[in-house]
Structure 1
Amino acid sequence: MALDRHVSRLAKILVDSEQITFDEAQGRLRALTLEIVVGPDAVSPAAHAAVLTAVSVGRRTFVGGVRVIGAVDQLHNSAFPLSSAALGDAATEVGAHDFEGVPSRRIVIGTAPMPEDDWSVGVWWNGWRAGTAHPQACVCEHSGNPLVGIAAAALAVGMAFQAERGQCFDLRSEVELWTTVEGKEDAPGFSEVFLPGALWLIGLGNLGQAFLWALAALPYENPSEVSLVLQDRDKISEENWATSVLVGDDTYGVLKTRIAEQWALRKGFDVRRIDRMLAATDRLDDADPRIALCGVDKIEARKRLASIGFDCIVDAGLGRSASDFDRYRVTIFDSARPIDKHFANQTDAKTDDEIPQVHAYQHLLGEIGRCGAAEVVGASVAAPYVSALAAVVAVSRLIAITSGCKCPSSEVGRLSSLNMRRVAPIVDIDARGARHAGNPKGYER
């Protein structure tokens, strides 16, 4: 079997952790299927964001296909820029399709009867909290906050994938997107916050596209009031399909900024593209967004952000190997916490082009040659559901900053052990140039 670059970064998780070949890993991924069951009570914007996110990231992980069953004829009730009137058609629009036979795993959104002997995971949310559990233990409140739906779906897809790897030991997981001082204040209702109105997105790979997915889910009253600058120099390759939610099946060779721009324009955002790297000599003009949302993977690129003129930088990072691919980090930098000082003593690790002396990589060496094998060895491992969760954490922080609220300056977690995530104390963020685009508006019909 030839190396399938569409899933090679995902296959590395299985190859490196289980010592199997790429042929075996690709065969397993292509056999994985996922079924999403929509209950009749799953009618809110949060529920529909969960369904559509589970499809979009699920089909890139469960490569054999994702189907959606249940209450799919209801009106589509999310702010995603999709043309379909019905939820089922919207799910098809983002990649759902039918397949034969019993699914490998099942996600339940809402209330629906499930066979006792089948593996299923349910989702829930309450306020700014979201999580997973046994379907019968899940209650999804009627919520207009799409971010909790995205978070719950990301956790559920991750839980299902871990189950396929034999590493799901507890269906319960939980993440809180809005952190407060316990006992002193309550998190605001979603209708009370202000949505970000001007952002500079740097890096449009898997994280940058996940940022745009989360931003497009927000119910802006007038999206044209939202100013976005999209910056990246890279083009989409086959390897990006399994990791990046906006990559289609016919977009290879296209600039990442162009794909991001098309999605943002469908939403109605005011968009400007910059198809090159950010240089240390660049400076912001008066009308430019003063808040940066960064999803690059190089430390040196992060250091350059310090001199550009941003008031605030929300920076996200992910793990790179099979042992830490589900790790995420979200850090906020401002005048009190400069990004260049934070990374001052850190450098980018040199890519090791030595081919490991294990069967999988030696077989790959004979199949695609030293240059091709070294490229696969040096590529980071990635899963799209991890990017989706990191993105909603980052966007939640942006909403807090835009709303003039305190928030943690950093958070580090792993989807497989969220109970051990580390959240810094909440602080005031210096973001004087932040612009908002009003309160969320209802998309319920």
Structure 2
Amino acid sequence: MTKHWKRSRITKAFADGSRVGSFAEAEARLDSIRLEIVVGADQIATPAGQAAALTAVTTGRKCFGRVTIVANEDAALIAKLPIGKSVLAVARRLGARLTDMPSRKATHQICIGDAPATAGWSTACWWDRWLSGTRAFADGAVGDSRLALAGAFAGALAVRQVFACAVAGRNVLPHDETVSLWSPWTEVKDGDVGPERFDVPDKLWLLGLGHLGQAFVWNLCLLGGSGDRLAVLQDDQQIGTENEATSMLVLPGGRQIGGMKTGAARSWLEASGWRTRLVERRHLGDITLTADDPPYLVSGLDKLEPRLVLAKHGFPYMIDAGIGHGPGDFEGIQIRTITKGQDIKGLWGKPPPIDGSRVARLQDSPAYLELQRHLGRCGTFEFAEASVAVPFVGVATGALVAAQIIRVASLEAVPVLLQLELGAPEMATSGSMLPSSGTNLGSCEYRLDAMHRQPGKDDAPESSTMDETERHRTKRSNIHSGGESTG
């Protein structure tokens, strides 16, 4: 096996786009990045700040081979993860080097909170509850930091901007981006920060625990929560060498290689308080659903055929995530929400025929000819057909999927199809909206005001707080009147 195999699904973005003459050159581009994550004391103890820092650390190390976290103090980890109890302890386990002083050798910096940039190129994570994005300068104060999903998305988006520099072979100026995770298809407006109280499903069926599936689990664990929760984890594959660079739950060191992907997801979810059941076989539409099974299927599969089978299988809700496959669309995100009995004709469209000429052109490119010396012609054909998979795209997709399934559980309308390009996330588009079913299928209430108090920002007038409390209580009482339990 070629030594370039570990990051092969990432370096394909360079080779397939004719950005480099060899996979070795792509590796060198990635290795030339010396990334620092600088975390201010004002954010290291907040859910969003911790999620941004750990997401940037993990995706940065997987892409660039090394990353340094700069912090003057540590903080207890808010989320319950199986790899440490403090932010810096977890960062170290994820492969980061720790320091309390920025280095002059850093080529790129990502700033989180009150952390002035010292490198020549820098971008800053930004959020305000459900709003999330980046700022070209670190002088814009963040807002409500109590939602970890916003931090995870911002951290992924910041690493994406660093990655763009590596792909271009030169520094690309960072820029401001803002997305509403609550309603990414709408134009962001000041003060429209999304709800403080919402519902999170307490039973999920997660199918496909590779790049996208593990990214969803990452976001779910950072979000946290409480109550009796069940996750059915389904995948029939083992962890391979190439998964370390693309899958968020595969840690450095190689000790998980050869283990089942379901096992990696189980260890994270059970540490976060979820009960789990494993199904280590493919779903062929032949598993009979019972009343005790989760009503929500979250899928992240590569191929269309099993998606069509699952869409007809009878889950009350299927939330399907997909990303582009080629060098020009590997940052394209599609999220489809399908209800039981829904007409799925045209929802995915017909899969394009295998473009043998494109695969042949790739095989005849300098990068693939060099790879052919290690894999042979047949090996490069299979590899040319494989998709690009970059970890920050997975995390961003996972945050958006989590937000959409929370909307469903909170009895809000969701789009049948949401499309977003990570290079221009503010240009997200959506199809027709699925109205709320009016029936709660099982959820746990999540209250930011109760779980994460933010000094100086939780002092809203009592009347405002009471209005929102009463609205939420009314919605839930309407749910109860329908005879359904909220868990």
2:280 to 275, 294, 311: 275
1:347 to 347, 351, 356: 351
Mapping 1:212-231, distance limit 5 Å: 212-222=217-227, 225-231=228-234
1:226 deviates by 1.0
Partner of 1:304: 309
Mapping 1:4-403, distance limit 5 Å: 4-17=4-17, 18-42=19-43, 43-63=45-65, 65-71=66-72, 73-82=73-82, 84-98=84-98, 102-115=105-118, 118-166=120-168, 168-179=172-183, 188-190=194-196, 192-222=197-227, 225-248=228-251, 249-335=254-340, 337-339=342-344, 342-343=347-348, 345-347=349-351, 349-350=353-354, 352=356, 354=360, 356-403=363-410
Answer yes or no: is the 8 Å Cα contact 1:334–1:431 preserved in 2.
no
RMSD of aligned alpha carbons:
2.5
Does the residue aligned with 2:199 lie in a helix, a strand or coil?
Answer: coil
Does the residue aligned with 1:234 lie in a helix, a strand or coil?
Answer: coil
Does the residue aligned with 1:389 lie in a helix, a strand or coil?
Answer: helix
Partners of 2:369 and 2:84 lie apart in 1 by 47
The ranges of structure 1 where at least 4 consecutive aligned residues each deviate by more than 6 angstroms after the TM superposition are: 180-183
Does the residue aligned with 2:146 lie in a helix, a strand or coil?
Answer: coil
Does the residue aligned with 1:91 lie in a helix, a strand or coil?
Answer: helix
Answer yes or no: is the 8 Å Cα contact 1:291–1:433 preserved in 2.
no
Say which is worse superposed, 48-57 or 404-413, in terms of deviation: 404-413
Partner of 2:419: 412
Aligned in 2, Cα 1:304/1:425: closer, same or farther, shift over 3 Å? closer
Aligned in 2, Cα 1:85/1:253: closer, same or farther, shift over 3 Å? closer
Please tell me the residue identity of whatever aligns with 1:189. P
Identity %: 30
Structure 1: gaps of 5 or more residues: none
1:429 deviates by 3.9
Please tell me the residue identity of whatever aligns with 1:243. T
Answer yes or no: is the 8 Å Cα contact 1:305–1:339 preserved in 2.
no
Answer yes or no: is the 8 Å Cα contact 1:38–1:69 preserved in 2.
yes
1:82 deviates by 4.3
Answer yes or no: is the 8 Å Cα contact 1:290–1:433 preserved in 2.
no
1:135 deviates by 2.8
Say which is worse superposed, 158-167 or 275-284, in terms of deviation: 158-167
Partners of 2:381 and 2:409 lie apart in 1 by 44
Please tell me the residue identity of whatever aligns with 2:21. I
**Larger CA Rg, structure 1 vs 2:** 2
Answer yes or no: is the 8 Å Cα contact 1:291–1:310 preserved in 2.
yes
| Deviation digits for residues 277-325 of structure 1 (CA, Å, limit 9, x no counterpart) | 1112322111000111110111101011133220011111011121111
Answer yes or no: is the 8 Å Cα contact 1:50–1:150 preserved in 2.
yes
**Normalised TM-score (structure 2):** 0.83
Structure 2: gaps of 5 or more residues: 455-487
1:350 deviates by 3.5
| Deviation digits for residues 304-353 of structure 1 (CA, Å, limit 9, x no counterpart) | 1133220011111011121111111111111474446624x523744856
Please tell me the residue identity of whatever aligns with 2:229. V
Partners of 2:331 and 2:14 lie apart in 1 by 13
Partners of 1:122 and 1:170 lie apart in 2 by 9
1:242 deviates by 1.1
**Normalised TM-score (structure 1):** 0.91
Partners of 1:348 and 1:229 lie apart in 2 by 32
Partners of 2:111 and 2:167 lie apart in 1 by 20
Please tell me the residue identity of whatever aligns with 1:175. V
Aligned in 2, Cα 1:61/1:94: closer, same or farther, shift over 3 Å? same
Partners of 1:340 and 1:270 lie apart in 2 by 35
| Deviation digits for residues 73-123 of structure 1 (CA, Å, limit 9, x no counterpart) | 2322431414534322221122212598612311000012223x6100001
Partner of 2:479: none
